[in-house]
Structure 1
Amino acid sequence: MSQPAKTSQSPFLDVTSFSAPEAETNQEHALPSAPLQSVSPFVSVYEMEDGEERVDPESEEFVQFVSELYDEEFDEAVFELVTEASELYDNQFVSKYRHPAEQAMEAERILEAHFSPLVGELEVLLETMADDIDRRDLEAMTETEIDAFIDHYAPSQPLSPAFENIFGWAKKKVKKALKKGIDWVKKKGKALAKKAFRFALKKLKKYIKPWIKKVITFAIKKLPKKYQPMAQILAKRLGFQKEIEDQRAFEGGEDTVGEIGQFQQEFDLMLANLLFSEDETEQELMLAEVISEDRQPAADPVGDLDYARERFIEGVLELEEGDDPTPLVENFIPAILPLVKLGIRFLGRPKLVNFLAKYVARLIKRFVGRKYVRPLSKAIVDAGLRLINLEATEEDAIRAAGAAVATTVEDTIQQVATLPDYVLDDEELLEGYVLEAFEQAATRNLPEVLPEEAYLKRPDLRETKGLRATWILQPLRGRKFYKKYSRILNAKLSPQKLRAVKTYGDIPLAEIMQEQLGLSSGKDIEAKVHLYEMLPGAMLPQISKNEQNTPGLGMTANYAYSQLHPLTPEAAGILLGQPGLGRTMSPEYLDNRRVTGIGQRFYYLEIPGARARMIPMAGANATMRRCSTVKIILDFARQQIRVCHFLSETKAQDIAVKLRRQIPLGVVMTSLSSGIESGLKHALTGGVCSHIKIIHEAMMPQNARGAALMEVPPSVKENLVMKLKEWLGKGLSHYFREQPQSFIIATEDPTDGVTLAITLDNLSGLPALRDALKRKTIDLRNIDFSEAMPEIRVQTIPGYYGE
């Protein structure tokens, strides 16, 4: 490194409001597992006569099968399972600050005992199914008979809602596989098909315990282990080397929790691999590898950070005047870096870490130690500590001051860790960047500690205008999960504001208010707005659970945490007039509540008289009523596009009333068109999104949820959206003109809402798009969706249906 230049100046280096007189008057990571060395039953590719490389038919069938198995609702079921495990863990361990490794071992033991009934029931289910299938004539079974055969299995004992939900989804996975088996009977014969199913289900039984163990580890660690996922192993064996090379390497990540979808992906891949492989040795090797992964020691970066943060807070509160906080910062930084994207680059660079520790220690010196902690704690109390923590004591206020310094250091290091190497290697450049990062972190985490003149000169050092507030670590006592804004803001929400603000899935807040809270869509709403920010390892249910004094929260139930919405700059500006309180996040964090980003902010609307509108779920926790959504399935195997447009109960009944009264068809279509258009745009052009599913012979599951479309030119996607809107409009107009009664009958079903399932066959341009997703060099002019009108079929299904 070069020699540092003259120290940059910042108002935080001379905090005059914290002068001495005022102070006196205020008194291990797991190693990647090796890929299988056995011979796969799949030949990766075969050569055509023209030299073009193609995926072989059996590999193509395998990938299509895995894509068809996926269902977003299974991810939701796993999330509820993780929430249940996490709540049990939090209840017993969050207030105990023992060494993380010791704590995790005891927690795993307790959680394994808690999950043992589910493991036992799933093992019995698979064993019994394997024996029963042997006595069935697969070729003679219709789909209805397969449904009845699978549905009759039930647990032998009462299970918790989350357990029963997983049990039900395991049956659905096997049901899909068994329906696939009818095709295999024709190809392989009855004996081979039965043998494949019997062996696969019995082997899958051995996988259940390791799979549940991974769920438990996930609930405790909150971050994925650094092992080679089964998806990558199978991708290599199936010939998708290019996809593996293009996958982003695990670098610590910036999620508060890893992607819940990894559990479904691995379950589906295991089931598919066991079914497709006729080699029992191959099956045993795959199981042995998974069990080996399960036994490997896992790192606990979240527990390490939580433990280090507490040690840092205790240390800064004990410093005497003149003491150097550098050793405290040096010990704190290594716990922060593993949870920061690109933070792994700091390993083996002690000189860089030492420089950061010394410089950051100098920046925080006027906020730590006995001399300054009381004025800082008083400033936090003045900023509203007791407004959000009614029972906060003086000791709590003092610890909140130490916590504010800790989060300032965390945010500073998190931002610095993402800097490019050329900055990290140049101390003169680095000093300026660290100073800027510290100022931004101090702005977010410290109360207003500077003189008013400093803020007049540097308005960027305030997140808001006119609010004296700060972000405070929560809960005050015990393990920390999130920060809460120290002021509960009042907001008057007009219908226009509610229509303009979007929440998860690009749904207008107005629909949330009407559908899920039963509020009139035409009136202003008075609300108290609570604001939150995520810490590493936290999930939204942990916010809702710990907000015991906030009406409508205080529990981990779906209907509580589903009322937390992303606080983007747009939402903060429209709802509160304070865009600086919002956080810009990448699209994957605005798609669903299962994955949240470190530093992501949320808001909760406390509305007097509002009550969550619930729907009962068989075998699951009661949940909020669904809002309208659009899901798209690009099925290249069948050369068709399927659109599932779920209409909320309110919208469905509104359309049914119009149809009964024979109101002009144009009025019905107008009420549908805006939702369809926004849904299509969100699914096809909105980035990584769970509202799209791709079934493609050359695409592994991790890219089949919309990620692959990121490489398709925007003009192609926009053209597809335009044509789909036109075709759906024509198809639905014909359907409502010819079959209005079928829609009306579906709305009379007691289930929540209805789904318009629309299938489009023989689309021009789809073969060229299929080739584009294989990364072939093609002429974009060939992707033309306007040559001919596709064949369109429409069906109305009671309730939610998303394939």
Structure 2
Amino acid sequence: MNGHSNVVYPEAPAAEASSSPFTGGVRPMDARVSSEAADSGYGEQDLVGLLSSPFSEGLLDGGESESDAAFAALVGELTDEGFDEAVQDLVDEAAGLHLASAGTWSTEATEHLATGEVQNWMAGVAAEADRLLEHVEQHFAARTPESLTDGEIGGALTEALVAEGRPGLDGENFIPALARKAGSLLRGVATLAKRGVAFAGRFLVGPLVGALRRIVPTMLKWVLSKALNRLPQNLRNDAAALAAKLGITLPSTQSAPAALPTPTPAAEPAPAEPTTGAALAELFDAHLANTVLTGNHSMADRLMAEAEADADEDGPSAVAGLDAARATLADQLAEAEPGSVLTTEVEQFIPAVMAALPLIRAGIGAIGRDKVVGLIARPLAELMKGHVGAQAAKALSRAIADKGLALLRLEAESSTGGQLGVEALVSMLEDTIRAVGQLPPESLAEPLRVRAELQEAFAAAAARHLPAELLRADLDANEIDGESAVWVLMPRGPGRRYRYRKCSRIFPVRISRNVARAIVLSDGGTLEQRFLDEGAAGWPAQAEVHVYEALPGTHLGHLAASEGQVDPSEFEDLTPNTAALLLNQPGLGRPAYGGVGRRYYRVVPGRGGRHRRRFKRAVVLLVLTGPRPVLRVHLRLSERAAHRVTELLAQNADVRLVAAFRSLILGIAQQPLPGRIARQAERTPGAALTAAQARALAAGVGERMVAAISAQLRSLAPTLAAAARDAAEGVTLTFEFGFADRAALAAGRPDAPTVTVRPGRHRD
């Protein structure tokens, strides 16, 4: 049943008592009716996957074929993974700034003051973006689209960037990415106009850039709302309305489970989910294309007005509600009489966890929150009753403090009371609620199944959050071999706004070259290449590995700000395979999907070394708007790698050079390339690829890239050497593949590529 109810559900059979993971043996549990569950509200709603379906037939008014083709062509031209990444970087930077600002305040006005600082920073980004686009708008004010040339567009954009103190179009952050977006828009409408598409040619260029200027502030409002975990319900409604107008089918909100499954290394990687930045950018592109082609600005005006209203609301987000609920329950556990069964307090906590996890809300809706709360609140309270109260909290805190908290600089906190202890209990409850809440409806309807799941989930949570010495000797739920560790809510501070967990055990490692070569990073390079680029002098490399876990509302910007203002690119997914290779601890890894429960690691070089900001080693562009599909892969070498290429060429060490290229290219083909190709294909009608097709295409492209290097190495040698000597940092090798048709693309049959070499790092 949904909503509030006074119906008393039957108790589960009591034939077998559920056992506590704590030392002291078995404690009986029984289920009781819950108190009224609070309304879960909207909570965190990520845009990941929101617009991942291919566009349908009939995208614009009337569904005319010319309109469909024009829309698809313009969206294809606008697609730019560099812009997606820049939007994601904005989300992370805003989240980190907010967290750092909130840490400087300790009053009730903290949230308001911190939000104000981030809003002022974002206003500065918006102002710079508007000045850039105003420059472009004025430059082309009276020109028609068909009169534009590609060289003229690039020159005007570079001029606008220089006026803003920016070096050029190949920059990695938002302003250069926005300039490239403006260039894509101008090239797209110029192409359509030259093909005789009337609705594009009837505009002057100035108003088209003006349309872009009007839409950018809307997206920046969404970015800010996402960074502050206040992305509102009506944003999804707006997205659904726009999607319906454009013929886009929004997929179900159900996604890969965010629970903590038993890790099983996959045989081969699947394409990764789109990031929040990619989803926001996709909505932005669709909206921009629709506005430009129809001249209808009303949707843009309405969305911007609603985004501004949402950003100005003072209502708490579901993540903020969970912050408050964690703090309240921790205080109640510390202040309770020893042995108390805090059923009511747990009942009040459960809805806050549900509200922050959309996947849980979706599953529980079919059963009714009251019934689920009633099934799990009393058993959870019973399991904890021997560990509530001030004395128990202090004892737990002391035991937790012995598990390496000095490494996290929390020694002082462990001696100030029982905060660490009660927070560990709260984390155990939160993880258990999440695991049980993600059961399918048919399982949630069976009290005995719920009780069995609850017992297993609580035991696993206890093994993660409490020292092994406090748990039963027969408990077989440890995820770390050897010395035990605990997960601590972070960052620490008076406001208790926790955005991630950190493992108390920091792993000193000696990484062999073979292991470093086997670990593929998110940018397609390997850990070996990263170490070499950063000046590793020899092998094995000495380092420390820090491990983190995502909570509701986690952004990598939170980790970056809290861990000493490092760059978000330093954090990588800790999959079971990587955990086994790097730490010899496969149980620490988690599949690299979902949000809550996702694990990350950061390698800190020995002797206090610091990472430099990384760049994308491969940039991909899939063009599906012409008669033949075209795929361009820009392979970008670091300055060190470029000079190493020069050395090997001078030594005529062709075999070693091809082997080095093979390692880099096949790593990219395995890791980031399938997902990037699949996401770009999804934006064009009728071009979506399955995961298997994307993997096969990426593998075929990788092999042809290696073959092209092998065949053309001697003819490319002078150009490679000259590019390496150039003052620009790094070298870009561009591989352009043609396909006979879309069927050849889906079958993974590319033509042999053309290869172009340029100094510097390029995106196209």
Mapping of residues 117-196 of structure 1, within 5 Å: 117-136=124-143, 139-154=146-161, 165-188=173-196, 193=201, 195-196=203-204
Per-residue CA distance 1:168-198 (angstroms, 9 max, x = gap): 3322211222222332443459997373533
User: How much does 1:540 deviate?
Assistant: 2.5
Q: Name the amino acid aligned to 1:740.
A: A
Per-residue CA distance 1:308-341 (angstroms, 9 max, x = gap): 1011111100001243311221111111112335
In 1, are the aligned partners of 2:624 and 2:684 still within 8 Å (CA)? no
Alignment-derived partner of residue 685 in structure 2: 698
- Decide which of 338, 360, 363 is 2:355's aligned counterpart: 338
- In the alignment, the residues of structure 2 paired with residue 248 and residue 124 of structure 1 have an alpha-carbon distance, to the nearest angstrom, of 39
In 2, are the aligned partners of 1:396 and 1:476 still within 8 Å (CA)? no
- Decide which of 186, 204, 210 is 2:212's aligned counterpart: 204
Q: Partner of 2:509: helix, strand, or coil?
A: strand
- Decide which of 389, 392, 404 is 1:384's aligned counterpart: 404
Mapping of residues 652-731 of structure 1, within 5 Å: 652-664=642-654, 666-683=655-672, 685=674, 688-689=675-676, 693-694=680-681, 697-698=684-685, 708-710=688-690, 714=692, 720-721=697-698, 723-731=700-708
- In the alignment, the residues of structure 2 paired with residue 487 and residue 696 of structure 1 have an alpha-carbon distance, to the nearest angstrom, of 43
Alignment-derived partner of residue 546 in structure 1: 562
- Decide which of 287, 297, 300 is 2:317's aligned counterpart: 300
In 2, are the aligned partners of 1:647 and 1:754 still within 8 Å (CA)? yes
- In the alignment, the residues of structure 1 paired with residue 684 and residue 481 of structure 2 have an alpha-carbon distance, to the nearest angstrom, of 54
- In the alignment, the residues of structure 2 paired with residue 41 and residue 633 of structure 1 have an alpha-carbon distance, to the nearest angstrom, of 21
- Decide which of 396, 406, 409 is 2:429's aligned counterpart: 409
- In the alignment, the residues of structure 1 paired with residue 76 and residue 241 of structure 2 have an alpha-carbon distance, to the nearest angstrom, of 17
Q: Name the amino acid aligned to 2:503.
A: Y
- In the alignment, the residues of structure 1 paired with residue 458 and residue 704 of structure 2 have an alpha-carbon distance, to the nearest angstrom, of 54
Q: Which has the higher contact order (CA 8 A, sep 6+)?
A: 2
- In the alignment, the residues of structure 1 paired with residue 421 and residue 528 of structure 2 have an alpha-carbon distance, to the nearest angstrom, of 39
Distance change in 2, residues 1:646/1:470 (3 Å): same
User: How much does 1:275 deviate?
Assistant: 1.6
Confirm whether residue 757 of structure 1 aligns to residue 744 of structure 2.
no
Q: Partner of 2:431: helix, strand, or coil?
A: helix
User: How much does 1:468 deviate?
Assistant: 3.3
Alignment-derived partner of residue 437 in structure 1: 457
- In the alignment, the residues of structure 1 paired with residue 199 and residue 477 of structure 2 have an alpha-carbon distance, to the nearest angstrom, of 73
In 1, are the aligned partners of 2:403 and 2:504 still within 8 Å (CA)? yes
- In the alignment, the residues of structure 2 paired with residue 643 and residue 257 of structure 1 have an alpha-carbon distance, to the nearest angstrom, of 19
Name the % identity: 25
Q: Partner of 1:656: helix, strand, or coil?
A: helix
Q: Partner of 1:267: helix, strand, or coil?
A: helix
- In the alignment, the residues of structure 2 paired with residue 140 and residue 252 of structure 1 have an alpha-carbon distance, to the nearest angstrom, of 48
- Decide which of 741, 754, 763 is 2:718's aligned counterpart: 741
Alignment-derived partner of residue 36 in structure 2: none
Alignment-derived partner of residue 528 in structure 1: 544
Alignment-derived partner of residue 506 in structure 2: 488
Per-residue CA distance 1:679-732 (angstroms, 9 max, x = gap): 2233565xx447863386406xxxx8xxx4335xx3x55654564345434433
Confirm whether residue 497 of structure 1 aligns to residue 515 of structure 2.
yes
Distance change in 2, residues 1:601/1:767 (3 Å): closer
In 2, are the aligned partners of 1:204 and 1:270 still within 8 Å (CA)? no
User: How much does 1:407 deviate?
Assistant: 0.4
In 2, are the aligned partners of 1:636 and 1:695 still within 8 Å (CA)? no
Confirm whether residue 633 of structure 1 aligns to residue 622 of structure 2.
yes
Alignment-derived partner of residue 420 in structure 1: 440
Q: Partner of 2:455: helix, strand, or coil?
A: helix
- In the alignment, the residues of structure 2 paired with residue 492 and residue 726 of structure 1 have an alpha-carbon distance, to the nearest angstrom, of 32
In 2, are the aligned partners of 1:743 and 1:796 still within 8 Å (CA)? yes
Alignment-derived partner of residue 605 in structure 2: 607
- In the alignment, the residues of structure 1 paired with residue 729 and residue 94 of structure 2 have an alpha-carbon distance, to the nearest angstrom, of 28
- Decide which of 556, 571, 588 is 1:564's aligned counterpart: 571
Q: Name the amino acid aligned to 1:693.
A: Q
Alignment-derived partner of residue 634 in structure 2: 644
In 2, are the aligned partners of 1:13 and 1:366 still within 8 Å (CA)? no
Alignment-derived partner of residue 253 in structure 2: 249
User: How much does 1:481 deviate?
Assistant: 2.1
Alignment-derived partner of residue 52 in structure 1: none
Alignment-derived partner of residue 271 in structure 1: 288
Q: Name the amino acid aligned to 1:741.
A: P
- In the alignment, the residues of structure 1 paired with residue 712 and residue 161 of structure 2 have an alpha-carbon distance, to the nearest angstrom, of 39
User: How much does 1:378 deviate?
Assistant: 1.9
Alignment-derived partner of residue 50 in structure 1: none
User: How much does 1:58 deviate?
Assistant: 2.7
User: How much does 1:31 deviate?
Assistant: 14
Q: Name the amino acid aligned to 1:600.
A: R
Q: Name the amino acid aligned to 1:527.
A: A
Q: Name the amino acid aligned to 1:228.
A: R
In 2, are the aligned partners of 1:373 and 1:398 still within 8 Å (CA)? yes
In 2, are the aligned partners of 1:17 and 1:449 still within 8 Å (CA)? no
- In the alignment, the residues of structure 2 paired with residue 472 and residue 189 of structure 1 have an alpha-carbon distance, to the nearest angstrom, of 59
Consecutive unaligned residues of structure 1, counting only runs of 5 or more, are: 19-27, 33-39, 47-55, 548-553, 590-596, 615-622, 773-782
Consecutive unaligned residues of structure 2, counting only runs of 5 or more, are: 1-8, 28-40, 46-57, 260-272
Q: Partner of 2:622: helix, strand, or coil?
A: strand
Q: Name the amino acid aligned to 1:143.
A: D
In 2, are the aligned partners of 1:67 and 1:695 still within 8 Å (CA)? no
- In the alignment, the residues of structure 2 paired with residue 529 and residue 719 of structure 1 have an alpha-carbon distance, to the nearest angstrom, of 33
Superposed CA RMSD: 3.8
In 2, are the aligned partners of 1:649 and 1:752 still within 8 Å (CA)? yes
Distance change in 2, residues 1:792/1:436 (3 Å): closer
- In the alignment, the residues of structure 2 paired with residue 732 and residue 431 of structure 1 have an alpha-carbon distance, to the nearest angstrom, of 59
Alignment-derived partner of residue 587 in structure 2: 580
Per-residue CA distance 1:76-134 (angstroms, 9 max, x = gap): 333343344333422343576888xx865665544333333333343344445334323
Distance change in 2, residues 1:206/1:657 (3 Å): same
- In the alignment, the residues of structure 2 paired with residue 696 and residue 12 of structure 1 have an alpha-carbon distance, to the nearest angstrom, of 49
Aligned residues: 707
Q: Partner of 2:542: helix, strand, or coil?
A: strand
Per-residue CA distance 1:218-267 (angstroms, 9 max, x = gap): 22116564533666544433444xx43xx122689959997122332233
- In the alignment, the residues of structure 2 paired with residue 59 and residue 225 of structure 1 have an alpha-carbon distance, to the nearest angstrom, of 30
